[in-house]
């Protein structure tokens, strides 16, 4: 089976009701990213950081995968689909996708502040001060904050996949955050046909082989219908 790599960003989950970061009304308009999503912010005010992620987690539990997520699951009939996501939500998992690499962590998990190898599932939506790992240290959200390095294994796999696949889709990302923003460029450099889906043009739109200016919840079911003609 041919290999399809999908790089997804916050726009993928927008139609599930989750806010993106950099658009008008996005999260980084309301919150100071350094206050709620950086090691410095955590040192300064843990309570604020925990509250920010608790709110995101609560909304996620009320959200459902949308037609875009489901379309990517259906694409597994045609391709070996690998999803490389910047999203910390679990909507690709809940939709039923088989191969998912999280570059920026997972909000429904907590990690020990003393030993990063200790990672736990969070029951419900609350992670609070006083929630400790088995070694007695405070737990933090298992996400990558600004100024932190990405987890090595998924990043290495994503780099390799981007240069070694048959088709590359970039969906719902502003392509402003590295290193994820470089992955479509690696694919293009390797002569891999690259399609972008985004209602707003980005720096990738001009260089992609095809730019579909549309919401992912509309574009993916359409793309799927096109492919079914070749079944
Ligand atoms: N379908 C597809 N794309 C959409 C939709 C939609 N329905 N709605 C919005 N978009 C697009 C926007 O046009 C925008 O280009 O999604 C993109 C969202 O961009 P960002 O908010 O910057 O999100 P993302 O690119 O995922 O951000 C990367 O930045 O702060 C961080 O860690 C956070 O993982 C995140 C990273």
pLDDT in tens, 83-125: 999 999 999 999 999 999 999 999 999 999 999 999 999 999 9
Q: How far apart are CA 136 and CA 36, in angstroms?
A: 24
Please give the average per-residue pLDDT across 160-187, as a whole number.
Answer: 98
Give the residues surrounding ligand 1 with Cβ less than 6 Å away. 9-11, 14-15, 20-23, 26, 86, 104, 171-174, 176-177, 197-200, 202, 215-217
**Which single residue is written with the structure tokens 């996400």?**
143
Residue 204 CA to ligand 1 center (angstroms) comes to: 13
Residue nearest to atom 6 of ligand 1 (CA): 215
Please say if the pLDDT value at position 227 is more than 90: no
Q: For ligand 1, what atom is nearest to the CA of residue 21?
A: 21
Specify whether 104 is catalytic. Answer: yes
The single residue listed with the structure tokens 């095809």 is 210
Predicted TM-score of the model (pTM): 0.97
Q: Looking at the DSSP assignment, which residues form a beta bridge with residue 212?
A: 197
Q: What tens digit of pLDDT does each residue of 4-48 get? A: 999 999 999 999 999 999 998 999 999 999 999 999 999 999 999
3-state secondary structure of 201: coil
194 within 8 A of 168, measured Cβ to Cβ: yes
Which atom in ligand 1 lies closest to the alpha carbon of residue 175?
25
Beta bridge partners of 106: 142
What DSSP character marks residue 214?
S
Ligand 1 midpoint to CA 26 (Å): 9
Token pair 């998992």 is at which residue? 93
pLDDT class for 228, splitting at 50, 70, 90? confident
19 vs 76: CA distance, rounded Å: 27
C-alpha span between 50 and 39 (Å, rounded)? 12
Q: What is the pLDDT of residue 215?
A: 98
Mutate-to-test residue for ligand 1 from 20, 169, 217, highest number of ligand atoms within 8 A of CB? 20
Identify the three-state secondary structure at position 162.
helix
For residue 208, report the distance from its CA to the centre of ligand 1, in Å.
17
The token pair at 8 is: 């997804």
Q: Cβ-count burial of 222 within 10 angstroms (0-12 exposed, 13-18 middle, 19+ buried)? A: middle
Pocket mutation for ligand 1, best pick of 6, 8, 9 (most atoms within 8 Å of C-beta)? 9
Q: What angle do CA 146, 148, 150 make, to 5 degrees?
A: 110
Q: Which of 63, 118, 114, 111 has its CA nearest to residue 87?
A: 63
């Amino acid at each position: 089976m041919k290999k399809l790599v999908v790089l997804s960003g916050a726009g993928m989950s927008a139609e599930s009701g989750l806010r993106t970061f950099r658009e008008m009304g996005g999260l980084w308009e309301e919150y100071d990213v350094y206050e709620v999503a950086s090691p410095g912010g955590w040192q300064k005010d843990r309570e604020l950081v925990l509250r920010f992620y608790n709110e995101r987690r609560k909304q996620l539990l009320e959200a459902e995968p949308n037609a875009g997520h489901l379309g990517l699951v259906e694409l597994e009939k045609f391709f070996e689909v690998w999803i490389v996501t910047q999203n910390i939500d679990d909507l690709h998992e809940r939709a039923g996708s088989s191969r998912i690499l999280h570059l920026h962590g997972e909000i429904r998990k907590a990690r020990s502040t003393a030993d990063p190898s200790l990672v736990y599932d969070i029951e419900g939506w609350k992670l609070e001060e006083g929630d400790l790992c088995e070694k007695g240290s405070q737990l933090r959200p298992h996400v990558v904050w600004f100024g932190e390095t990405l987890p090595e294994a998924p990043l290495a796999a994503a780099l390799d996949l981007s240069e070694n696949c048959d088709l590359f889709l970039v969906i719902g990302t502003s392509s402003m955050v590295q290193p994820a923003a470089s992955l479509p460029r690696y694919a293009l450099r390797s002569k891999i046909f690259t399609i972008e889906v985004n209602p707003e043009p980005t720096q990738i739109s001009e260089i992609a082989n095809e730019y579909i200016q549309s919401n992912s919840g509309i574009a993916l079911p359409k793309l799927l219908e096109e492919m079914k003609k070749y079944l």
